[in-house]
Amino acid sequence: MNTINDSDFIRYQRQICLPEFGESGQLKLEESRVLMIGCGGLGSLVAPYLVGAGVGSIVIIDDDNIDISNLHRQFIYRESEIGQNKAARLKSNLNQLNNNVQVRAIQYRLTEQQLALEVIMCDVVIDCTDNFTTRHQINRACFKHKTTLISASAIGWQGQLAVYHYQEDEACYRCIYPEDISEPRSCSTSGVMGPVVGVMASMQALACIKNLISTPNHSPQSLVSFNGINNTFQTLNIIRDPECPVCATKEVTA
């Protein structure tokens, strides 16, 4: 039976002392593999939480470079790093935070076949991307291989979070968000409040940790919505679309 060594116990004791977590939770984290796509506003905050908590390994993916307009919400990066790849710089920072965690950075956009391979090799996928095309590609791959997907978004003063386990009769991302949105909003055009991104990133990281340690959740599948103006949360039950082209069909191309 695996046990936690003394140095790790000291490092993680604040979470190990939680009765719902304990040493068994820490051991599960250390054996887990996470795939995080997107190292911007959400990803640059989610990854330090997971690496700090002691996940076994994490693959981070982003082909984008750091821009000065990112720094009001992506504060793990520095002015001196402007123009450098986000995944590469995030990996460097994560290695300094916890060198016991294996971090692999991918600095290019994956093909569908490459994405499928990465999805197969992980326990949880965290979608921190900011465009619908990529989000739908991730959803299709996760559904095909039945890998849990934790998806969040933030724009303006609003944020949303949903977890997809792809169990029978459960909804997928496509059930909620159609692929034919004509003018999807973006942070560059609609703006975003930095702390709203932080709230959603924290919730995303928390959802990931709970899933990795198998914390029971008997509530219906839901979409959590946050309003930063009113500081309110709303939980909406979501149901499967019987005509969804992804989860309502037996064959999925990913």
Q: Residue 151 — very low, low, confident or very high, per pLDDT cuts 50/70/90? A: very high
CATH number for the 12-237 domain, one of 3.40.50.720, 3.30.70.120, 3.30.300.20, 1.10.287.610?
3.40.50.720
Domain boundaries, the chain: 12-237
Range 21-41 average pLDDT: 97
Q: Report the alpha-carbon distance of residue 49 to residue 19 in Å, rounded.
A: 20
Q: Residue 182 — very low, low, confident or very high, per pLDDT cuts 50/70/90? A: low
Q: What is the pLDDT of residues 58-94, one digit of tens each?
A: 999 999 999 999 999 999 999 999 999 999 999 999 9
Q: Residue 185 — very low, low, confident or very high, per pLDDT cuts 50/70/90? A: low
Q: What is the pLDDT of residues 212-231, one digit of tens each?
A: 998 766 577 999 999 999 99
pLDDT at 209: 98
pLDDT at 79: 97
Is residue 183 scored above 90 in pLDDT? Answer: no
**Active-site option among 39, 142, 187, 208:** 187
122 is an active site residue: no
Q: Residue 9 — very low, low, confident or very high, per pLDDT cuts 50/70/90? A: very high
pLDDT at 179: 84
pLDDT at 164: 96
pLDDT at 129: 97
Q: What is the pLDDT of residues 228-251, one digit of tens each?
A: 999 999 999 999 999 999 998 765
pLDDT at 140: 97
Residue 29: left if φ>0, alpha if ψ -120 to 50, beta else—which one? alpha
The answer for residues whose C-beta is within 8 angstroms of residue 135's C-beta and 6 or more apart is: 127, 129, 151, 173, 177
Length of the chain: 254
pLDDT at 250: 60
Q: What is the pLDDT of residues 99-146, one digit of tens each?
A: 999 999 999 999 999 999 999 999 999 999 998 999 999 999 999 999
pLDDT at 186: 64
